[in-house]
């Protein structure tokens, strides 16, 4: 299947997807769970993400030229596969709406305070629709252009942090034991939703795509770990835990000799750009999945109607800050685990059982034919 998507492009999309919403909100959840041990929880979360990538690669290598929703129908049969595929599509669509809500809430509370949230969300969704209509190859090439800028600006922002580090902010290590670290790692992994990338995995050349998936996840995870370390070292675990966007607070605190200061614009640039690509991937996966389930050969006619619904759903999903903090810390990870772990394991198990059953039937079929 030729789509113009290279292994390098897929790796770049994986990095963008991993950073996505997490760079701005993950440090708060980690510090809330593990306090000064939040960086250890981030390392554990990265290890869990890499384990999940191993599961997704095992599934992806069995999908052939099918995407995830089509593979559900092939493995589970017409009706069960259709139901599970619809559940995945709904998850991708909900994830898109939540990220649109994240973006709108952040911009209207931190920077564009006089702008109605509906205007910002509608404008952003227009760009998302345009990217999806241009296609996978177009927005992948765009991501490749922007990644060096993101890396360079991130280094400009994070290096000055080391001169203001307070090492006592990391002490005492393991003060509350291992359980808070496990809990923090559990919540961290729940913010990645890497299963969405199985909607494009089949379009990547077979040679090198597994390593691209792993390296993209690892590099993106390093961004998040460094951001968490910076937030803990500069603003401390207590402020990090009590801020909804601690990475933005970290950027506002950078001041090197009154020469390099007010670099929060860099954080806004990195976050808006990476969340844009994450939303595009999720929304494209949802529209492509809907098109397959309803027998359409092209998802583009669905893009605009689904985008309108996305605006409404995003406003419904973001009533206030307290609700969102509670939802992320208590509800999201168990809910997302159903789609990130349970259903993928089910697909892999059924696929392995069907293959084993087919091999057992082969000798009998050969004998009866003789």
**Residue 364's pLDDT is what?**
55
| Domains defined along the chain, listed by start | 24-348 (1.20.1740.10)
Q: Are 200 and 13 in contact (CB under 8 A)?
A: yes
Indicate left, alpha or beta for 254 from its phi (over 0: left) and psi (-120 to 50: alpha). Answer: beta
143 closest CA partner among 134, 226, 66, 264 = 134
Q: Are 89 and 299 in contact (CB under 8 A)?
A: no
Mean pLDDT by 10 residues, the chain (370 residues): 78 93 84 86 92 93 90 89 93 92 85 86 92 91 93 84 76 84 88 91 90 94 90 84 81 69 80 92 94 88 89 81 76 90 93 84 53
Placement of tokens 């492009």 in the chain: 9
The first and second tokens of residue 329, run together, are: 């810390």
Give DSSP secondary structure letters for 12-33.
HHHHHHHHTTHHHHHHHHHHHH
Burial of 114 (0-12, 13-18, 19+ CB in 10 A): exposed
Q: Are 249 and 235 in contact (CB under 8 A)?
A: yes
**Residue 247's pLDDT is what?**
82
Q: Are 43 and 264 in contact (CB under 8 A)?
A: no
Q: d(Cα 160, Cα 188) in Å, to the nearest integer?
A: 25
> Is the whole model's pTM more than 0.75, yes or no?
yes
Half-sphere exposure of residue 67: CA atoms within 13 angstroms, side-chain side:
20
Q: At what angle do helices 179-189 and 38-60 cross, to 10 degrees?
A: 40
Q: At what angle do helices 343-369 and 68-76 cross, to 10 degrees?
A: 50
**Residue 299's pLDDT is what?**
86
């Amino acid at each position: 299947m030729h789509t113009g998507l290279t292994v390098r492009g897929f790796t770049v999309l994986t990095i963008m997807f991993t950073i996505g919403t997490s760079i701005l909100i993950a440090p708060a959840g980690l510090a809330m769970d593990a306090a000064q041990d939040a960086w250890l929880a981030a390392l554990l979360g990265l290890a869990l993400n890499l384990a999940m990538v191993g599961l997704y690669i095992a599934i992806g290598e069995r999908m052939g030229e099918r995407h995830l929703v089509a593979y559900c129908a092939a493995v589970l049969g017409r009706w069960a596969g259709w139901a599970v595929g619809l559940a995945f599509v709904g998850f991708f669509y909900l994830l898109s709406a939540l990220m649109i809500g994240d973006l709108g809430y952040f911009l209207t509370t931190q920077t564009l305070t006089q702008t109605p949230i509906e205007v910002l969300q509608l404008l952003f969704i227009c760009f998302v629709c345009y990217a999806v209509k241009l296609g996978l190859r177009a927005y992948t090439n765009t991501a490749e252009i922007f990644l060096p800028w993101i890396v360079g600006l991130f280094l400009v922002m994070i290096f000055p942090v080391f001169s203001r580090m307070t090492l006592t902010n990391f002490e005492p290590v393991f003060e509350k034991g291992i359980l808070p670290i496990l809990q923090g790692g559990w919540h961290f992994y729940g913010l990645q939703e890497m299963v969405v990338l199985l909607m494009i995995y089949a379009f990547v050349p077979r040679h090198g795509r597994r390593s691209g998936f792993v390296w993209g996840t690892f590099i993106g995870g390093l961004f998040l770990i460094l951001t968490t370390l910076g937030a803990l070292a500069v603003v401390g675990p207590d402020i990090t835990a009590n801020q909804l966007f601690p990475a933005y607070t970290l950027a506002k605190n950078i001041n090197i000799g009154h020469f390099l200061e007010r670099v929060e614009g860099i954080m806004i640039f990195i976050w808006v750009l990476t969340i844009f690509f994450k939303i595009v991937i999720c929304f494209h996966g949802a529209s492509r999945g809907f098109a397959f389930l309803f027998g359409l050969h092209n998802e583009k006619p669905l893009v605009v109607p689904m985008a309108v619904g996305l605006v409404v759903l995003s406003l419904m999903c973001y009533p206030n800050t307290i609700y969102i903090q509670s939802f992320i810390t208590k509800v999201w990870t168990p809910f997302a685990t159903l789609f990130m772990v349970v259903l993928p394991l089910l697909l892999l198990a059924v696929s392995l059982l069907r293959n084993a059953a087919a091999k057992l039937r082969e000798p009998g079929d050969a004998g009866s034919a003789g």
